[in-house]
Structure 1
Amino acid sequence: MPTQPLPVGHGDIRPLGTTPVLSGRPLTVDPGAVPRFADRVWNLAVAGHAGNRYASEFLIDFDSLSNTARREAAREFLFWRLNTRPVRGPLPSISTVAAEWWNLRCFLRFLDTEHDGIRMRTVTQSVLDSYLASCRSEGLMKSSLRQRLQVIPRLHLAAEAMPTDALEVNPWNGRPLSRVIGSPVVSTHENQTPRIPPQVVAPLVQAALFYVHTAAPDIINARAELTALEASVGEIHGLSLTRLNHYLGSLAAGGRGVPVLDGTGRQPHLAGTPAYTYVMRKSGAGQAIASGSYNDRIDRALQQLGPEPGGMDTPITLHPQSGQPWRERFSPPAIPREERLLRAACYILIAYLSGMRDSEVKELRDGCHFTERSADGVVVRHKVRSQLVKGGRGTSESWIVIEPVAYAINVLERLPHRDLLFCRPVTGRPHSTISANRMNDNLNEFLTHCADIGYPVPDVNGEPWNLTTRQFRRTVAWHIAHRPFGTVAGMIQYKHLSVAMFEGYAGTSPSGFRAEVAAEEALARLADVVERYEDFKAGVRSTSPGGPRTDNEFARVQKELQDFPGRLVDERRLHAMLKASARTLHIGTVNDCYYQPETALCRTPSGEDRPLLNSCRPDRCGNSTITTRHRIGWEAARGDTERALAFVGLSDLQRTALRGHLNDVTKVIEGIDCAND
């Protein structure tokens, strides 16, 4: 429940020690558990709304700073950050402030170790420059360097709220950090998150589908076998050579070898060594490695039967490509690794095929998947329920998804986990989670592993592609916008994805996915218009009634920019002038439509602001332009018509209609050829 906001202290007024530090924010606990200003440790997780994060990430322990002045100044700054709304936008999220605590400590420790513990009020610009140089020496990427430095201008902004010690110098004279660290000035109109290249995403999704559908049952069964074995260990008392001999005899009778370490555990250099402990426990001969006759007996059996990597009983499914088992038999140390890879595969399918944000994927819990029928009872929709974490607030929402996503969730529910599906239990700890950075590592481990299971992912520019959780939503939005009828891994249509994502919550404003696709579509249309403008400069002319209008518009742009051979034009100005055309451009196979309702033959009384493709008359409409790039589509139409005319048994009316259509198509092709001779 939210509490009432409190005023932040300024000047020499500090908040009282009993003042709650999270006033005005929605809480996940009783308000009495909210940390107070004077507390030694602030647990911000009471308003974190992100169960997929380590609890320690939200702990602010002021005792980790060197002296009282540092602790009190940090306390004042963080209170100011938590309770002061910026000029634009909402209060910073709890996760943002928790991350800023780390960056603040880095700066304060630098002052202690490199500048004799000077107070912030005596810091000069030269000290800040030396801190910048120190951060650069760590080899940080520019994005990480920017995050590290952002706390410094904020310390200056908070000076009035920090009576203990404040940064009085205006860092770098107020220059933007992007210029201070040399970051390129990027356009705010395009999402800067890199898209996963098609040659990477195709085998990656294929491998994820393989892991979820084929490998998952084996991994789950292996975990069940290991759990049963661990439960039976407590019932083993003493040592029994008879049981060991009986077990080794059963291996010989079954044509199997002696279990040896397979190199997937914590000591890969021991691969090929007999799995003494496993053999003793599996046979019931003892709880751990024995000595003397027991080890000698296992060694003799290894010489007689040969090794069997892994050695567990769970059968391995055949790989659909090779017809051979997709991996060797499991060993106990291999199971956690395979579960980690399987979780990464599930993450790939859920994040990529749903359009959900990373934080929303990691908030999935037991029972989050459900189905609903459409109003007519015909269509069964898969839905998932999660938490939208945005602006520091958590709200329960639902997404419509496709079947592979639902299947991946079902697999996650069968893996060992806590309430959150991406939280795995760890011995001795209440829970362990896969945070964003850990998941990035797991995703790249899975990408490397793809080659081992028959789906190698090629390098990009000579380097392995570096996957991050944010890339999946950006990539599927781009593909839906640029390739609306393309496929994913040869079985899932992007069009299918877009329908599912837009039909339900994922297409509403809180999720923002529709807006991201719309932005990608705008960029795609602008790129297409620029390409058509370049064709126009190269002498390509369009036919059909709308052709002259388009050519005249391109001629006007070329003249105004003086865009002629031997001259360089301002690319940003060119794009700005062509944007008006891009807003109305609709790409097609047999024509492009620069849609204007007043001249559209497909217009309807409803006043749709887009063409009705099923009613398009590309060879007659005043909005249509046809160029040489469309000739292939018209050639295909002519071939289809000629084949239809060859059918026996056509009526006279059908044959007459087909001949008329063939004549129209032929005229268009001839017009393309004449216009561009």
Structure 2
Amino acid sequence: MTIAAVMPTVPARGYAPIPPSLSNRSPFAQVDICEAAGLELVPTAHRPRFEEDLWILEGLAHAPASMRRVYKRWNFAPILNPAWRLAAKELVLALLVPNHESVAELPHAFRTPIKPNSVYGTLMALTHWLNHLTGQGIKTLEDVGQEHCDAYLEIRRRRKDGTGEIEPSSLSNIVKPILYLARYRELFTSDAYTAGFFPWDGRPAGQVAGWLQRNAGNTTPPVPDNVFQPMLDSALYLVDTIGPYAAAELRQFLDFAASARAMPQHRSLTGTDRSQILAAIEEYARDDLPFPRLEGNKISLRVNKGWRPDDPLLAVNTQRFAQTVIGVRNFNTRDLAMLRPAWEAAVAAVGVGGDCGLRAELIPRHDEPSVEVPWTLPLEGSELRALSQVMLSACLLVTAAISGMRASELEELDSSSCLPPTETIGGGVRYRLGSRLIKGRKFGGTPEEWVVIEEPYRAVQLAIRFSGPNSNSALFGSEALDVGKAYTGFREWVNGPAGQRLGLPLIPAGPVNARMLRRTLALALAHRPMGLLAAKIHLKHVSVATTEGYAHLPGGSQGVFLDEVREAEEEHHVELTREAFRDFQKGVMPAGPGASGLIAAFTHIDAELREHEAGEAKVLDSDRRLETLLQREAKNLHVGVANYCWNRDPDKMLCWKLAGTTPKADSKPMVGMCDSARCPQATHHPCHREVWQSSHDSQKVFLGTIGRNKVAKAALQTDVDRSRRVLDEIDAAAITASAKDEE
């Protein structure tokens, strides 16, 4: 029996069912949907056919984790007009099978298959459009005109909550099926637009929706630093410090719940049982441990069964206590009466509460590591499950923030994703995460590996402990992955009593999502070396891991991410060069051994600009010319912690000489070994003054603690003098500019 037979379609009022002869004329009559589309099913799965009104695709063998169950149930029955229901089936299948002979001959049909995920969205939007027409009294697509399309667009443009208009990208998806009905007009056997009618004159959906063109470059903003710093700091603390204890407690809780189901259901207590329970009651009172609390709905059930509302034991989960102490699921009421005196006295002393984490281990507070606190206060089972979700969110945020993985790739992580670490030349360790690359690949994606540093690897290992051993389940939940939603719950916990008890920093309000975290990491790598990633996550190691990932799979997603980093790095270097040039024009000269070379280069650029002095109408051309000139110089720029290195001549790189090696023509400076006070290509700018001042101050403090060690004191005095000299040079350049302004 087919699904259609089980769920018969009820024709809308005023419409007759599609005659079998008309349905049989469809080029897709009797077609096996998945066979035609080349979609593999598991052997036992139902195989939907074209005539059915409900196409069940739950047996897809290689569906990505992002394709939830709802996306695998394509229901055409809600389309009220039976003729349009048939047209909708033909359109949807045509999007899946562009090479079908009846589709390939259409002049405007797509030539590559649309992924099932996207086709489901098209069906939903198409259903809404067709039923809107039915609501307007239109019974044939031949009567549809541009005025109907415009009116519908204005309705769908507005948000349902009245807060404004939806995004053009979302509106574009609403427009697409309206246009598809024109693209595939010749295919439909039951009804179609009038020949020659193309809504909005055939303009692309993006233009119709107001999405005229994409902005040049990556416009995704990074996570604001005042949000990113405490977010990642707290997430790392939870993963490394709280996580192992919480995972062990959850496993113990789940194992006990499973064993409790196998305990004896009900029995009278023996003398030994009562002795054990009384001893346990005494122990709880002595150790000041609360008794397990009963869930709220069960308290009401007790009252309905005759318990007094003021009974001291009303809120005590006696069943849970008995399970823990003597391994019995429950015991008789008359036995409870014998235990009451001791139990009521103990409850009056210690009260009731959660029974998870009763004897929690001590851990260092985040803000004061010398102060130790229990990793948790006693938790109820529901509270422990909620904490597990917070821990999963912390794992997700750490992985997204440090690996650079897309949301679609994070969704594909499962309990087999932590691939065995491998040793590298020199004794290092390479950590890899196995996932699938979904974007830009065929349906189901392709296997992918990400080379990462240890922090995200540990986060995924911890997520596996919370998610369970099923390798076929997504680590971060069965619902669509929403990093923003996970962050919101995580932030509420950190800013709440539990997080503040551990000394975690408050996280201010601000947007966070997967794209923003990926962009933040890309910019951190490009703008090295400042920020939390540099200080706490070893930014250099992230860069090396990303590069290793690219070398491991050059065509993979990590290579795409590395390209994004390089693009951001080039943009950043141009911006830094522009700032240095603007300072030069104001009279703020660079300092350092390489200052003369940079001043000469900027003088040449300034001269070229003056030769092509732009009038008011040529300002844009002048700006473009300036950027072109600066790009040549920016290609030589390498950013250090306390200096810029303008590597015009590899033979002059002091860092290579100090390392005792000979550079090649394409060798880059070893910024970590830079002695910018002596390197002929290094310059110091006002933005570096704070670093040098901090170094100078700390060196002076340390100098006063050395005592009589003359050799160490002389060496450190040399460093102090060097820092002072660099500071004086930077200040002298600023004074020169100030004097020029006064003149």
TM-score of Structure 1 vs Structure 2, range by shorter chain? 0.7 to 0.9
Alignment deviations for residues 217-255 of structure 1 (CA, whole Å, 9 cap, x no partner): 234324323432442244333354776896366234322
CA–CA distance in structure 2, aligned partners of residues 537 and 358 of structure 1: 45
| Corresponding residue of 1:134 | 155
Alignment partner of 1:509 out of 543, 546, 555: 555
- Conserved? CA contact 1:386–1:396, under 8 Å: yes
CA–CA distance in structure 1, aligned partners of residues 358 and 316 of structure 2: 19
Q: How does 1:41-190 map to 2 (within 5 A)?
A: 41-43=55-57, 46=60, 48-51=62-65, 53-84=67-98, 91-112=113-134, 114-116=135-137, 118-135=139-156, 136-139=158-161, 141-142=166-167, 143-166=169-192, 169-174=197-202, 180-181=208-209, 187-190=215-218
Inter-CA distance 666–230: structure 2 relative to 1 (3 Å threshold) = closer
CA–CA distance in structure 2, aligned partners of residues 22 and 264 of structure 1: 51
Inter-CA distance 360–309: structure 2 relative to 1 (3 Å threshold) = same
Q: How does 1:69-468 map to 2 (within 5 A)?
A: 69-84=83-98, 91-112=113-134, 114-116=135-137, 118-135=139-156, 136-139=158-161, 141-142=166-167, 143-166=169-192, 169-174=197-202, 180-181=208-209, 187-192=215-220, 194-216=221-243, 217-238=245-266, 240=268, 247=277, 250-255=280-285, 256-260=289-293, 273-275=315-317, 278-279=320-321, 281-282=323-324, 287=329, 297=340, 300=344, 304-312=348-356, 315-321=359-365, 323-374=372-423, 376=425, 378-390=427-439, 391-393=441-443, 394-415=445-466, 416-420=468-472, 422=474, 433-437=478-482, 440-451=484-495, 452-454=498-500, 455-459=504-508, 464-468=509-513
Please give the TM-score of this superposition, normalised by the length of structure 1.
Answer: 0.78
* 1:17 correspondence with 2:61: no
| Corresponding residue of 1:528 | 576
Cα distance, 1:485 vs structure 2:
5.5
Structure 2: segments with no counterpart, 5+ residues: 1-24, 100-107, 301-308, 366-370, 657-661
| Corresponding residue of 2:11 | none
* 1:480 correspondence with 2:525: yes
CA–CA distance in structure 2, aligned partners of residues 554 and 622 of structure 1: 23
| Corresponding residue of 1:491 | 536
Alignment partner of 1:518 out of 566, 590, 600: 566
The range that moved more, 528-537 or 624-633, is: 624-633
Which has the larger Rg?
2
Alignment deviations for residues 607-626 of structure 1 (CA, whole Å, 9 cap, x no partner): 31755658979789897665
The range that moved more, 33-42 or 467-476, is: 33-42
Inter-CA distance 277–434: structure 2 relative to 1 (3 Å threshold) = farther
Q: How does 1:587-626 map to 2 (within 5 A)?
A: 587-589=639-641, 591-593=643-645, 595-596=647-648, 606-608=664-666, 610-611=668-669, 613=671
| Corresponding residue of 1:471 | 516
Cα distance, 1:493 vs structure 2:
1.6
Please give the TM-score of this superposition, normalised by the length of structure 2.
Answer: 0.72
The range that moved more, 406-415 or 168-177, is: 168-177
CA–CA distance in structure 1, aligned partners of residues 350 and 516 of structure 2: 46
CA–CA distance in structure 2, aligned partners of residues 537 and 494 of structure 1: 34
CA–CA distance in structure 1, aligned partners of residues 297 and 627 of structure 2: 56
Inter-CA distance 418–669: structure 2 relative to 1 (3 Å threshold) = closer
Cα distance, 1:30 vs structure 2:
6.9
Residue identity opposite 2:666 in structure 1: E
Cα distance, 1:478 vs structure 2:
1.6
CA–CA distance in structure 2, aligned partners of residues 220 and 641 of structure 1: 46
Inter-CA distance 207–669: structure 2 relative to 1 (3 Å threshold) = closer
CA–CA distance in structure 2, aligned partners of residues 87 and 265 of structure 1: 61
Cα distance, 1:27 vs structure 2:
4.2
- Conserved? CA contact 1:586–1:595, under 8 Å: yes
Inter-CA distance 46–611: structure 2 relative to 1 (3 Å threshold) = same
Cα distance, 1:159 vs structure 2:
3.3
Residue identity opposite 1:238 in structure 2: H
CA–CA distance in structure 2, aligned partners of residues 146 and 236 of structure 1: 61
Q: Secondary structure at the match of 2:427?
A: coil
Q: Secondary structure at the match of 1:545?
A: helix
Q: Secondary structure at the match of 1:418?
A: coil
Cα distance, 1:436 vs structure 2:
1.9
Inter-CA distance 226–419: structure 2 relative to 1 (3 Å threshold) = closer
* Percent identity between the two aligned chains: 22
CA–CA distance in structure 1, aligned partners of residues 183 and 385 of structure 2: 48
The range that moved more, 509-518 or 606-615, is: 606-615
Cα distance, 1:48 vs structure 2:
4.7
CA–CA distance in structure 2, aligned partners of residues 36 and 326 of structure 1: 56
Residue identity opposite 1:122 in structure 2: D
Residue identity opposite 2:406 in structure 1: R
Residue identity opposite 2:131 in structure 1: R
Cα distance, 1:189 vs structure 2:
0.9
CA–CA distance in structure 2, aligned partners of residues 546 and 88 of structure 1: 55
Alignment deviations for residues 406-457 of structure 1 (CA, whole Å, 9 cap, x no partner): 3223223323353245358xxxxxxx713224x5433321121112313344
| Corresponding residue of 1:7 | none
CA–CA distance in structure 1, aligned partners of residues 613 and 77 of structure 2: 63
CA–CA distance in structure 2, aligned partners of residues 289 and 570 of structure 1: 88
Alignment deviations for residues 346-369 of structure 1 (CA, whole Å, 9 cap, x no partner): 212222222222222222233332
Inter-CA distance 378–619: structure 2 relative to 1 (3 Å threshold) = closer
Q: Secondary structure at the match of 1:383?
A: strand
| Corresponding residue of 2:104 | none
Inter-CA distance 63–191: structure 2 relative to 1 (3 Å threshold) = same
- Conserved? CA contact 1:53–1:433, under 8 Å: no
Q: How does 1:554-573 map to 2 (within 5 A)?
A: 554=606, 556-557=608-609, 562=614, 573=624
Alignment deviations for residues 113-162 of structure 1 (CA, whole Å, 9 cap, x no partner): x4235444433333223323332141464144444444433444333444
CA–CA distance in structure 1, aligned partners of residues 265 and 673 of structure 2: 81
- Conserved? CA contact 2:34–2:47, under 8 Å: yes
Q: Secondary structure at the match of 2:364?
A: coil
Residue identity opposite 2:567 in structure 1: A
Cα distance, 1:261 vs structure 2:
5.4
Greater RCO structure (CA 8 Å; 6+ sep): 1
Inter-CA distance 666–576: structure 2 relative to 1 (3 Å threshold) = closer
Cα distance, 1:83 vs structure 2:
3.2
The range that moved more, 231-240 or 605-614, is: 605-614
CA–CA distance in structure 1, aligned partners of residues 159 and 672 of structure 2: 61
